[in-house]
Amino acid sequence: MAYITLSRSNYFHNLSLLADKCGGVDKLSVVLKDNAYGHGLKEMATLASEFGVTKAVVRDEEEALEIKEQFEDILVLAPRTDTNPTDNSSLVLNSLEQIYKTKPKTKVYLKIDSGMRRNGITADEISDALKLIISKALVLKGVMTHFATSDESGDAFEMEMQRWLEIKNQVKAFLNELNIPQPSFSSLASHGVLRVGNIDDEIVRCGIATYGYNEFDESFKKIALKPVLKLHAKRITSRVVKPTDRVGYGKVGTVAIETIVSSYDIGYGDGFFRYDGKSDFFTPEGDKIVGRISMDITSVASDKDEIVLLDDAKVLADRFSTISYDILVKLSPRIKRVVID
Ligand X SMILES: *Cc1c(COP(=O)(O)O)cnc(C)c1O
The site for ligand X (CB under 6 A) is made up of 31, 33, 77, 146, 189-191, 205-209
In the bound complex, what is the minimum distance in angstroms from residue 10's beta carbon to ligand X?
16
Rounded Cα–Cα distance for residues 82 and 137 (Å): 20
Of 47, 48, 80, residue with least CA distance to 65:
80
Within 10 Å of residue 292's Cβ, how many Cβ atoms?
22
Cβ contact 290:211 at 8 Å: no
* Contact in structure between 123 and 165 (CB atoms under 8 Å): no
Q: Per-residue DSSP letters for 185-232?
A: EE---HHHHHHH---S-SBEEE-TTTTT-----TTSPP------EEEE
33 catalytic per annotation: yes
Q: Quote the least distance from Cβ 205 to ligand X, whole Å.
A: 4
CB nearer to ligand X: pick between 229 and 247: 229
Question: What CA–CA distance (Å, rounded) separates 35 from 331?
Answer: 9
Closer by beta carbon to ligand X, 202 or else 285:
202
- In the bound state, the residue with its beta carbon closest to ligand X is 207
Strand pairing report for 204-206 and 28-31: parallel
User: Can you say whether residue 179 is alpha, beta or left, with left for phi > 0 and alpha for psi between -120 and 50 degrees?
Assistant: left
Based on CB atoms, which residue is closest to ligand X, 14 or 106?
Answer: 14
Query: What is the closest distance, in whole angstroms, from the C-beta atom of residue 237 to ligand X in the complex?
Result: 39
Q: CA Rg, the chain, in Å?
A: 23
Least gap, CB of 190 to ligand X (angstroms): 3
Please say whether the beta carbons of 224 and 242 come within 8 A. Answer: no
Active site residue: 249, 275, 288, 304, which one?
249
Closest distance of CB 209 from ligand X, Å:
6
Query: Of 21, 33, 107, 141, which one is the catalytic site residue?
Result: 33
Q: What is the rounded CA–CA span in Å between residue 112 and residue 322?
A: 28
Name the minimum Å distance from CB 55 to ligand X: 12
Question: How many Cα atoms sit within 13 Å of 148 on the Cβ side?
Answer: 14
Contact between 98 and 64 (Cβ < 8 Å)? no
Nearer to ligand X, 70 or 190 (CB): 190
| Cβ–Cβ under 8 Å, residues 201 and 186 | yes
- Using the minimum distance from each CB to ligand X, give the nearer residue, 190 or 262: 190
Give whichever of 105 and 117 is closer to ligand X, judged by the CB atom. Answer: 117
Catalytic positions, written as ranges: 33, 249
